[in-house]
Structure 1
Amino acid sequence: MTGIVAVIAGIGLSAAAGFRVFIPMLALSIAGKTGVIELSESFQWLASWPALIGLITATLAEIAAYYIPWVDNMLDSIATPTALLAGTFISAAVLPEMNDGLKWTLAAIMGGAPAGVVQAGTVLTRGTSTATTGGIANPIVSTVEAGTSLVTAILALVIPILIGIIVLCVVIWLSVKLFKRFRRRPGLHPAA
């Protein structure tokens, strides 16, 4: 995955970071390791085994922590700035090499902003859940958030590839159609 497709995937992964910080980072690491997405040169370490193992551990710890009563609300207070940073980081990892100032500015806009908007929604949802149910429904909210982060991360990687395949199929179809039309025109074939 290169160019604009990787940037689109990065934006989707950044939005997923608003639900859970480490799930989309783990997805990015797996995608980089398997070659599904091309990480920028300074982020190649993200596709290493140590990074992958560390992100698996962090993802499992984050998911588990959100099931501990009242810890989930405490995590929300640090998750907001962390989600902004994760979204920015994810976008920077897929942007092509460029001036560092420009790269991080674009990453903050394209990654930090979506992550922040989604995270604000999760904070409001968890706060409402805590206020209306005394926190009893928070494990359900946590499950939905983790599941949504996972689905969003997967879709962020799959949809750009599907769009690329569809565009390629349309281009091939149009090329074949134009070629057939060109071959049918009278006077273009040599006399037998």
Structure 2
Amino acid sequence: MESTDLIISICLGIGLAVAAGFRVFLPILILSAAAYFEVIPLSESWQWMGSLTAIITLGIATVVEIFGYYIPWFDNLLDAIAIPLAAVAGTAVMVATVSDLNPVITWALAIIAGGGTAAAIKGNASALRLTSSATTGGMANPIVATVETGTSTVMSIAAIFVPVIAFFLVLLIFFGIYRFYKKLRKKKPPTI
């Protein structure tokens, strides 16, 4: 694999991993559809993801997940299992898009860059949802859910069609998270 192709596939994987941090199944569905329509190649052992069966199955899971975030009790259930699922999804999209590397390097990259990125995003999204529930009594949660779904969609599409731009969006998202926590830390009153 050429170094340019490798960089693009890593950017693609990281972009999809961030999208998986917002919605677990949506980026995998978009990746599956892109593979089905031969927009992007998948690594050899992940060709099944580009099948019609995978698209239908992932489509159903995506619809259940998206609408589940609008049902308060289901929303809480999804948040309880979402971080490990996001880590698995982030790892999977990274492994599926990066090929022609030593398997040890591929899996290390997938677990750290894919799974770690997705888990970090999902953890922050869950904290935002918890804050929204605590401060608005859950009234703002549908807005948060809509923004998360929109962000996941945009990140997934950007990762598929312009992976390098998606990588810069990832950096922008992490910078925004950093700024938010830095600002939050300044507001804490001193303890005596």
Shared fold by TM > 0.5?
Answer: yes
Aligned to 1:122: 125
Q: Is this contact kept in 2: 1:2–1:37, CA < 8 A?
A: no
Q: Does 1:132 align with 2:135?
A: yes
Q: Give the structure-1-normalised TM-score.
A: 0.79
Give the letter for the 1:47 counterpart. G
Identity of aligned residues (%): 50
Unaligned residue ranges in structure 1 (runs of 5+): 164-192
Q: How far 1:36 sits from its partner (Å)?
A: 1.6
Distance 1:36 1:10 in 2: 15
Q: 1:90 aligns with which of 93, 96, 103?
A: 93
Q: Is this contact kept in 1: 2:12–2:164, CA < 8 A?
A: no
Give the letter for the 1:124 counterpart. A
Q: Give the structure-2-normalised TM-score.
A: 0.79
C-alpha RMSD of matched pairs (Å): 1.8
Length, aligned pairs only: 163
Distance 2:159 2:100 in 1: 21
Aligned to 2:178: none
Q: 2:69 aligns with which of 66, 71, 81?
A: 66
Unaligned residue ranges in structure 2 (runs of 5+): 167-192
Q: 1:54 aligns with which of 40, 57, 81?
A: 57
Q: Is this contact kept in 2: 1:73–1:126, CA < 8 A?
A: no
Shift in alpha-carbon separation, 1:140–1:42, aligned structure 2, 3 A:
same
Distance 1:10 1:157 in 2: 9
Q: How far 1:139 sits from its partner (Å)?
A: 1.0
